[in-house]
Every structure is written in structure tokens, then in C-alpha cells.
């Protein structure tokens, strides 16, 4: 059997502009390595500001042609469904490649990838429902609204979920009729590039999806400053978000910012302990803690606090850490040496600040091909103080903090004592308390007796330093559209305002 492109040992990809791969204007390339083994996976071109400007101009030309923007929403939906089908047929290939690029276990990637076609089915289906509204208007007029695409929109995506984050932005942007220029993370650009090729082969017109890879500090400002750029949608760190939001504000173009998080997990003592522990392990350590909604601050009722910690420590100690391509592996490495060193620095900070180290706390000792991998032991700190650095700052690694609470008011006080407001979860069997607590949590996404779940119809976005704007659902489709109000006079005669007489009525 012939190997598919992403199964080759070295995948060398260029920019994707106007429906085809093309060389960057520089000869520099970003080298991509497997964080578990150090093996070379491939490389991507390092685009320049000129490359970004070309991509935006290409997208603008394609948009202005009407080949996509003027297409009936039903026909756009058919193409989006075809893209979903094409992706579905290649899911194993994409899952294997993302495992090699990110180090996430193949069991995780397979589960996550299985959901991705749904974004194209969902938005392809609801695009036809972007109906205007007729509204009241006094004095013999018809008053209605209508939607149209924004034009060229820019997507800036992160490395932790390279394809998921890219596609959950892309699907509504395309469904609304826009042309897209995307900038994936420099260390994880391969699956977005391959997807662009797949989408074009499935029927997306050339120039409607363009991807420029490279350093964010180089191509990012060029994207934000491009005259035809009509919207920026970023997933990334909070400081990056502040810079990009500032550039968008200078242009007076709308933006969506999905930024950092430090999700609280509130565990009440009426939750079965085994369930609470299993939920905590999933919330805190999936993807080695490298998600913006990772459960990192566990706020546990004092009546079960020590029992919870003991059982969670035993659970975590039993994780099978190993080769991410082995389907038995439950936890892989973090994405890079830099991320490993950052995580280990936070662990040392927790120790020095006096938090109780329950388990973990070091680089994981691996052998063979994995000896140089960026593995960090899953780490639990207890008895943390809300002022501790490991509680205040986003770590983005397999490190969680546990603190006790006495009552509902105390739990909410601890949960909301933070600048971030992205995700949170509440674990309780008391339905009244669950809804009462959720209403008072400062988080844009809250799960009850669960964590991390996502769906194309479920809105996603945070508050405070976690950003603004919403992904998914009708909200995303509206944010990628502009709504125009139209007022039509229905009377035969237009009054002469300057013809004299009383014109106050």
C-alpha cells in the first residue's frame, strides 16, 4: 500500500496560497520534531510579511470574484459536507500525524479527530438558516435586516490542538461566505496545511483558503495590518492576545480572542468519590494539561479533601506514560523542551512557596527511544495558597493544585479569585446547588459533572483575561457575518420637508 503524505517520515510542506502549495519568499524553514523521541517529522516554510500580504490579496481577489461569497448558502453547505466527508475518510492519517507532532497519545487524538467532521456538517447545515428579520417601523415603511459575509478573515491558531482549533474557526467562517487566511502555530503547522489541500480537492474554490506558516512576530502583524483584513480570530496566550487585539483595534476591525485559562473544578462531598477522582484525572491531565480549559485548580470540600487527594494520587501514579503512538499509552510528553522547562520551573516554584507536593514533581525518567523525550511526571500539589504562583499563572503542563473549601460561598470565593474566566466544572449530585453555583461562577464555559466536552453547536469563549467573543453555534456564524438594516418607504409621495408648514409630525 502506498503511504499517504502524512505517513511519510519527512513531510516537507510549503505555504498554501490560491489552491496550491507554493514556496515562501525566504528559504528558511521550521523543523518539526516528535516531542516523544526527537525524531524529525518534517518542516514547513517560514513565510514573510510579503507572503502574508500576497495571501490576503489572493483571498480578497477570490472573495471579490463571488465564486464563494455569491454562492447560495445551500450550495456552500454541500461543499462543506463534502469537505467533512473527505476529512472523515482520512481521520486515521491525521490523528497519527498530530500524535507525532504534538506528543498526545494516539488514543486521545483518535477520539478528538472523530468529532472534527461534525463542524462541517453542522455549519454546512445551518448556513441556509442565516435569515434576516422584519422589524416594526413607524410610519409606512418596511424595515428588514439581511446578512452578508465580512470579506477576508484571519485565523491565528495554537499548537496544542492544531487541527481542532483551526477547523472550529474555519467552518463558520466558510459557511458565512468569507475568504480565509490562516496562520497556524509555527511548531505544529502540518495538519492545517494538509487540510487546506484536502478542502480544495473536495471542492473549495482556489483562493478561498490560504495558509501562511512562519513566526508569529513576522507574519502576524502583516495579517492584522492588511487593508482587506476584515476580522481576526485568535487562539493563543493572553499576552499574545493583548497585542493582536490592540492591532485589530487600531484598524477598528472585530476580533475574537480565545486566550488563557486556569479552570477551577469544584468538588462537593455528595459526589461519589470514585467519580470525582476519575473526573479530576480527566480534567487535569488530558493532553498532559496542555489545554486552555484544563482543570488546574481543584477546590474540594473539606469533608472529603484528604480522601480525594489520596485516591487521586493513586490514580495518577498508575498512569501509563510512554510512546504516544502506542494505543496503551495514557499520557505523553509536553510539546517541546521549552514547555518542559517552563513546567518544571513552575513545579520548583510550588515547592519553594511551601505547597505540599503529593506526587510527581520532576522530569519523567524514560528509556530507549523515549529517553530524550519531553516527559514530565503528572504532578499534584495540595494545601496551596491562592497567592501561589502555581495557582495564579497558567502552566500548560501536567500540574494541578488542590485546596479545600468549607461551604458554597467559600468555594465560589476561591473559584472566582482569578483574572481568567474561560472554563470551570462543578461536581455535585444536588441539582439546585449545581445551577446556583454555575450562575455565580465567572467562567464562559461550565460543565456539571463533566469536563472538556465540546460540540459545534455549543458556544465557546471566556471572560476577563481569557478573552472575548464566541466560537461555535449560531454565535460564530453571526460573528463571521455583517448584518445590514434596510428601511423601505412604502408610501407613494415623499414629503417636501422644506415646502413650508408644520413638519413636526
Q: In whole angstroms, give the CA distance from residue 452 to residue 442.
A: 17
The side-by-side arrangement of strands in the sheet containing 445-448 is 356-359, 379-382, 399-405, 295-301, 263-267, 423-427, 445-448
Q: Per DSSP, which regions of 46-161 are E strands?
A: 134-135, 141-149, 152-156
Q: Residue 429 in 3-state DSSP? A: coil
**Under 8 Å CB-to-CB from 101, ≥6 apart: which residues?**
32, 34, 41, 162, 187, 188, 190, 191
| Helix (H), strand (E) at residue 45 | strand 40-45
**Angle of the 216-225 helix axis to the 238-251 helix axis, nearest 10:** 30
Q: In whole angstroms, give the CA distance from residue 21 to residue 18.
A: 8
DSSP line for 360-428: --SBPP--GGGTTS--B--EEEES--TTSHHHHS---SSEEEEEEESSHHHHHHHHHSSSEESEEEEE-
Instruction: State the residue for C-alpha cell 415623499.
Output: 494
Q: Residue 261 in 3-state DSSP? A: coil
Q: Are 285 and 359 in contact (CB under 8 A)?
A: no
Q: In whole angstroms, give the CA distance from residue 310 to residue 301.
A: 14
Q: In whole angstroms, give the CA distance from residue 284 to residue 293.
A: 9
Neighbouring C-beta atoms of residue 291, cutoff 10 Å: 21
User: Which CA distances in Å does 164 have to 190, 412, 486?
Assistant: 13, 31, 37
312 burial via Cβ count (<10 Å: 0-12, 13-18, 19+) = buried
* Residue 341 annotated among the catalytic residues of the structure: no
| Helix (H), strand (E) at residue 432 | helix 431-439
Cell digits of residue 376: 514530565
Q: Which of 108, 186, 258, 471 is catalytic?
A: 258
Half-sphere exposure of 183 (CA within 13 A, CB side): 29
The two beta strands, 152-156 and 179-183, are parallel
| Helix (H), strand (E) at residue 29 | strand 29-33
Neighbouring C-beta atoms of residue 458, cutoff 10 Å: 11
Catalytic residue set? 258
Amino acid at each position: 500500500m502506498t503511504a499517504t503524505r502524512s505517513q511519510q517520515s519527512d513531510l516537507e510542506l510549503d505555504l498554501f496560497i490560491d489552491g496550491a502549495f507554493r514556496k515562501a519568499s525566504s528559504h528558511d524553514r521550521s523543523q518539526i520534531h516528535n516531542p516523544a523521541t526527537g525524531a524529525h517529522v518534517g518542516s514547513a516554510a517560514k513565510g514573510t510579511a510579503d507572503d502574508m500580504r500576497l495571501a490576503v490579496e489572493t483571498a480578497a481577489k477570490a472573495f471579490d470574484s463571488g465564486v464563494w461569497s455569491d454562492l447560495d448558502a445551500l450550495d456552500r453547505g454541500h461543499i462543506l459536507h463534502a469537505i467533512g466527508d473527505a476529512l472523515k475518510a482520512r481521520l486515521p492519517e491525521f490523528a497519527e500525524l498530530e500524535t507525532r507532532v504534538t506528543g498526545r497519545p494516539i488514543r486521545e487524538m483518535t477520539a478528538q479527530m472523530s468529532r472534527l467532521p461534525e463542524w462541517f456538517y453542522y455549519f454546512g447545515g445551518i448556513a441556509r438558516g442565516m435569515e434576516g428579520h422584519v422589524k416594526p417601523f413607524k410610519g409606512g415603511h418596511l424595515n428588514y435586516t439581511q446578512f452578508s459575509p465580512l470579506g477576508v478573515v484571519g485565523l491565528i491558531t495554537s499548537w496544542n490542538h492544531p487541527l481542532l482549533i483551526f477547523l472550529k474557526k474555519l467552518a463558520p467562517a466558510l459557511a458565512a461566505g468569507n475568504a480565509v487566511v490562516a496562520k497556524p502555530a509555527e511548531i505544529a503547522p502540518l495538519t492545517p496545511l494538509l487540510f487546506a489541500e484536502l478542502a480544495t480537492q473536495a471542492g473549495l474554490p482556489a483562493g478561498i483558503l490560504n495558509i501562511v506558516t512562519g513566526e508569529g512576530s513576522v507574519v502576524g502583524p502583516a495579517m492584522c495590518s492588511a487593508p482587506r483584513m476584515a476580522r481576526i480570530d485568535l487562539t493563543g496566550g493572553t499576552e499574545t492576545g493583548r497585542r493582536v487585539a490592540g492591532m485589530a483595534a487600531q484598524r477598528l476591525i472585530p476580533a475574537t480572542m480565545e486566550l488563557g485559562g486556569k479552570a477551577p473544578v469544584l468538588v462537593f462531598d455528595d459526589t461519589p468519590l470514585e467519580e470525582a477522582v476519575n473526573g479530576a484525572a480527566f480534567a487535569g491531565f488530558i493532553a498532559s494539561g496542555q489545554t486552555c480549559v484544563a482543570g488546574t485548580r481543584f477546590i474540594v470540600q473539606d469533608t472529603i479533601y484528604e480522601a480525594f487527594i489520596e485516591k487521586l494520587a493513586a490514580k495518577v501514579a498508575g498512569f501509563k506514560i510512554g510512546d504516544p503512538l502506542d494505543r496503551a499509552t495514557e499520557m505523553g510528553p509536553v510539546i517541546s523542551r521549552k514547555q518542559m522547562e517552563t513546567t518544571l520551573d513552575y513545579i520548583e516554584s510550588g515547592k519553594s512557596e511551601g505547597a505540599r507536593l503529593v506526587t510527581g514533581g520532576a522530569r519523567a525518567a524514560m528509556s530507549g527511544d523515549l529517553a530524550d523525550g519531553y516527559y514530565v511526571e503528572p504532578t499534584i500539589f495540595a494545601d496551596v495558597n491562592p497567592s501561589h504562583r502555581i495557582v495564579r499563572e497558567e502552566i500548560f503542563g501536567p500540574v494541578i493544585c488542590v485546596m479545600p473549601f468549607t461551604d458554597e460561598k467559600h468555594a465560589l470565593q476561591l473559584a472566582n479569585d482569578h483574572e481568567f474566566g474561560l472554563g470551570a466544572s462543578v461536581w455535585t449530585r444536588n441539582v439546585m446547588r449545581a445551577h446556583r453555583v454555575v450562575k455565580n461562577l465567572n467562567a464562559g464555559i461550565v460543565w456539571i459533572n463533566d469536563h472538556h466536552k465540546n460540540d459545534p453547536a455549543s458556544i465557546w469563549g471566556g471572560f476577563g483575561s481569557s478573552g472575548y467573543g464566541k466560537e461555535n453555534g449560531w454565535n460564530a456564524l453571526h460573528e463571521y457575518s455583517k448584518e445590514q438594516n434596510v428601511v423601505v418607504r412604502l408610501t407613494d409621495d415623499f414629503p417636501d420637508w422644506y415646502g413650508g408648514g408644520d413638519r413636526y409630525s
